[in-house]
Amino acid sequence: MNIRFIGVGFRAYVVRREAPQVGAAKCVPTSNFTEEGSIRFLMLKVGQSALTAYPIPAGINIYCPKDQQADKEALLLIGNNLQTLKQVGSEIKSYKKPDPYKGSGIYECERIETESGEILLNEKILRKIMKKK
């Protein structure tokens, strides 16, 4: 599954944190921890004043573009279970739904490889026409 950001200043990157010590308060479910005992967060900056941290479930891998800016490239989500993959994609999309007037937001896209390179096709949304005074 591919997710693409369309908008000014939208960014995403993955951060890895170590597991909390024994006896420490647990704020994240234990199902999100990987085999190494660490947890991964997808840090999103999508039109809000602060960064949003989304804990990545175990079994799901997210690959981000190298420059942390996803204008031209898309986030790549890989997992074995299709249901959890779609759920993670929809939870990430819920942080910034596509705007019907401007078209900015988080889109699910399809990656098609051609002879000249890759093409990303965004999902279709109904665009509204702005009112004229």
State residue 129's pLDDT score: 80
Range of the domain at 52: 2-122
With respect to residue 111, please indicate whether it lies within any of the assigned structural domains: yes
Does residue 132 sit within a domain?
no
Q: What is the pLDDT of residue 29?
A: 55
Residue 130 domain-assigned (yes or no) = no
Residue 82: in which H helix or E strand, if any? helix 82-93
Predicted confidence (pLDDT) per residue in 10-50, tens digit: 888 888 887 666 555 555 555 555 556 778 888 888 877 78
Number of domains, the chain: 1
Query: What span, in angstroms and rounded, lies between the C-alpha atoms of 7 and 13?
Result: 16
104 inside domain: yes
Residue 70: pLDDT band (50, 70, 90) is very low
Whether 127 is in a domain gets the answer: no
- pLDDT, tens digit (0-9, with 9 covering 90-100), for 72-119: 677 888 889 888 888 988 898 888 888 888 888 888 877 777 788 766
Q: Does 70 fall in a domain?
A: yes
Q: Are the beta carbons of 71 and 46 closer than 8 angstroms?
A: no
| CATH number of residue 34's parent domain | 3.90.930.12
